[in-house]
């Protein structure tokens, strides 16, 4: 019987078995004795960029923007009362075209979702906010955009071929397949099949989650490659090249945002667990001995990132992994967890990977990936601190956190329920909606003029369909921070417009000429 904790992959050693004659030059463990990459380069323009550092510990202490909630590995995962039910979020996303099933007209494909115009913009904004915090605001992290298909030996070295598995069981009644640690249970807590009700299951078998495909026209094992299950490996494989050409010194990081694929046995909870998703990962290379201080630094940085983007601290926590839960590469890991409606669940993992990855790739490739620290006159294999977040999970958490049902007073004084996404302005897909009071020909030219005035600076939506009240509700439901209304006074009298604030629902009258400055002051689009 295999004991696997929820969310944990079984750890893997290295498989020397598979034979990839098209690529294999070195057997596992054989070292080419090649000179380190930097020794081959005589170009002085590649001398490291950063000035000498007094110390390579985190230079400035980061303070948490709200007290860091750190919980034990076995902390209770139940979400308790939640103001946003998952079904409500899923329905809102479908209604407003944010996120909906892939290939819907054919009945959909499990574990695959499409992001419509506003969903794509929201997801882009999450990625932009991550890049801003991880790259733009730092001088010690550089970007990589690596290929999804990599040399198959990468996944042997990383341990994925042998160990990236989940325990699979089959229902003895109807052969439906389940992850052994995620079987549905009845009121008595007994596992049962959700399709036929049977309670008998086969013994768990290890199922490798990597999707395989073939390069070139022949589908045989020598041409088989894997769809990457994480973006991280390219940052290790390209470490020496990126370090040299970006002229960075350890400590420094390589960051990447990109697609990953996992053949999850039971994709579930909307976009929380899917088969095709995007990761935002950063590998931060540090001198051994400084790794624990850097690990803490990154835990606080990532905690702050979610809170600065408006997430409520009571819905966020840091959970330490128990020793038996650690992945095969990890010296220590914490999860950033969010209180989703279904349970407290992982948003992001922040691992201290030690030197596992550079050691494995040095050994499997035969290329020395050690680093020469000129200031200390020593050579070592850097340790790696890895904050690894999911774009879909973050997007879902921001959606859930922003969701509110409120009572609102209409222009006629009636109290109505409104649904509003109180998204941070930086995340809102549309920043300003331009709403002519009606489709009357007298209003259209000025309304178009206002939209054209704002469009170069912010994503603008022009909406003239339905009553103003309905249009406000529509914009509230997708989190648009400001609505600008053009009425008959605008065109006949004062060239002034009404600006409505999404959260306070206050309305201000402003001259059109003042509008860009006003929005510039009030839209908080940066972290
Ligand atoms: N390189 C380390 C790594 O990949 P992970 O915990 O397996 O670690 C990192 O993945 C993040 O990627 C997770 O915290 C989660 O946000 C996201 N992720 C992983 N599998 C996912 C899936 N099937 N669907 C959606 N997001 C996923």
pLDDT, tens digit (0-9, with 9 covering 90-100), for 260-294: 999 999 999 999 999 999 999 999 999 999 999 99
Which two three-digit tokens encode residue 117? 């115009």
DSSP 197-216: ----BPPPEEEE---EEESS
Q: Looking at residue 51, what is its pLDDT? A: 52
Of 346, 353, 357, 384, best ligand 1 pocket probe by most atoms within 8 Å of the beta carbon: 346
CATH 3.30.930.10 fits 54-164+209-399, yes or no: yes
79-121 pLDDT tens trace: 998 888 999 999 999 999 999 999 999 999 999 999 999 999 9
| Nearest atom of ligand 1 to the alpha carbon of 335 | 14
For ligand 1, the distance from its centroid to the CA atom of residue 431, given in whole angstroms, is 30
Per the CB < 8 A criterion, the answer to whether 395 and 347 are in contact is: no
Does residue 337 line the site of ligand 1, with CB under 6 A?
Answer: no
Q: Looking at residue 30, what is its pLDDT? A: 33
Does residue 119 line the site of ligand 1, with CB under 6 A?
Answer: no
What CA–CA distances, in Å, run from 165 to 77, 89, 168, 259, 471? 24, 31, 9, 19, 48
How confident is the model over 460-472, as a mean pLDDT? 95
pLDDT above 90 coverage of the chain, percent: 79
Which two three-digit tokens encode residue 390? 């999911």
Whole-model pTM?
0.90
Q: Where are the beta strands (DSSP E) in 262-341?
A: 276-286, 316-320, 332-339
For ligand 1, the distance from its centroid to the CA atom of residue 147, given in whole angstroms, is 18
Nearest residue (CA) to ligand 1, atom 2: 388
The highest-level CATH class for domain 430-522 is: alpha beta
Q: Looking at residue 44, what is its pLDDT? A: 63
Residue 2 has pLDDT above 60, yes or no: no
Does residue 357 line the site of ligand 1, with CB under 6 A?
Answer: no
Q: Where are the domains of the chain?
A: 54-164+209-399, 430-522
Does residue 389 line the site of ligand 1, with CB under 6 A?
Answer: yes
For ligand 1, the distance from its centroid to the CA atom of residue 160, given in whole angstroms, is 14
399-409 pLDDT tens trace: 999 999 998 87
Does residue 319 line the site of ligand 1, with CB under 6 A?
Answer: no
Does residue 263 line the site of ligand 1, with CB under 6 A?
Answer: no
Query: Bridge-partner residues for 94, per DSSP?
Result: none
């Amino acid at each position: 019987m295999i004991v696997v904790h929820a969310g944990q992959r079984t750890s893997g050693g290295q498989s020397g078995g598979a034979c990839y004659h098209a690529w294999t030059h070195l057997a596992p463990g054989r070292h080419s004795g090649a000179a380190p990459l930097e020794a081959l380069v005589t170009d002085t323009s590649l001398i490291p960029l950063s000035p000498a550092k007094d110390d390579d510990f985190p230079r400035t202490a980061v303070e948490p923007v709200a007290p860091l909630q750190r919980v034990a590995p076995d902390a209770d995962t139940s979400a308790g009362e939640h103001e946003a039910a998952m079904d409500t979020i899923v329905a809102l996303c479908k209604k407003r075209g944010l996120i909906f099933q892939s290939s819907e007209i054919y009945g959909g494909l499990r574990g695959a979702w499409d992001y419509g115009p506003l969903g794509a913009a929201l997801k882009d904004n999450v990625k932009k906010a991550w890049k801003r915090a991880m790259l733009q605001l730092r001088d010690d992290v550089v970007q990589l955009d690596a290929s999804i298909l990599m040399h198959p030996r990468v996944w042997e070295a990383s341990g994925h071929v042998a160990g990236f598995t989940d325990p699979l069981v089959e229902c003895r009644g109807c052969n439906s397949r389940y992850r052994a640690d995620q079987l549905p249970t009845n009121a008595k807590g007994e596992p049962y099949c959700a399709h036929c009700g049977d309670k008998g299951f086969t013994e768990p078998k290890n199922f490798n989650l990597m999707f395989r495909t073939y390069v070139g026209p022949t589908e045989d094992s020598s041409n088989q490659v894997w769809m990457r299950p994480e973006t991280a490996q390219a940052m290790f494989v390209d470490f020496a090249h990126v370090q040299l050409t970006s002229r960075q010194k350890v400590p420094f990081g390589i960051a990447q945002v990109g697609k990953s694929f996992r053949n999850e046995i039971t994709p579930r909870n909307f976009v929380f667990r899917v088969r095709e998703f995007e990761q935002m990962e950063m590998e931060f290379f540090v001198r051994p001995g400084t790794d624990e201080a850097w690990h803490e630094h990154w835990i606080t940085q990532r905690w702050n990132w979610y809170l600065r983007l408006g997430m409520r601290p009571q819905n966020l926590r840091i959970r330490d992994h128990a020793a038996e839960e650690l992945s095969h590469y990890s010296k220590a890991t914490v999860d950033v967890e969010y209180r989703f409606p279904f349970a407290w669940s992982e948003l992001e993992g922040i691992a201290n990977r030690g030197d596992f990855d550079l050691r494995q790739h040095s050994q499997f490739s035969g290329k020395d990936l050690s680093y020469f620290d000129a200031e200390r006159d020593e050579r070592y294999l850097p340790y790696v601190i890895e904050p690894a977040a999911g774009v879909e999970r973050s997007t879902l958490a921001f959606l859930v956190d922003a969701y509110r049902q409120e009572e609102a007073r209409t222009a006629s004084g009636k109290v109505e329920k409104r649904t509003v996404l109180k998204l941070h302005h930086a995340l809102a897909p549309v920043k300003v909606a331009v709403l002519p009071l009606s489709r009357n020909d007298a209003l259209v030219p000025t309304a178009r003029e206002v939209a054209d005035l704002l469009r170069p600076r912010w994503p603008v939506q022009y909406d003239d369909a339905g009553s103003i009240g309905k249009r406000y509700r529509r914009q509230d439901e997708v989190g648009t921070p400001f609505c600008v209304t053009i009425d008959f006074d605008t065109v006949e009298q004062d060239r002034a417009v009404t600006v409505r604030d999404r959260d306070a629902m206050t309305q201000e009258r402003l001259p059109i000429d003042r509008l860009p400055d006003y929005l510039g002051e009030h839209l908080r689009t940066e972290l």
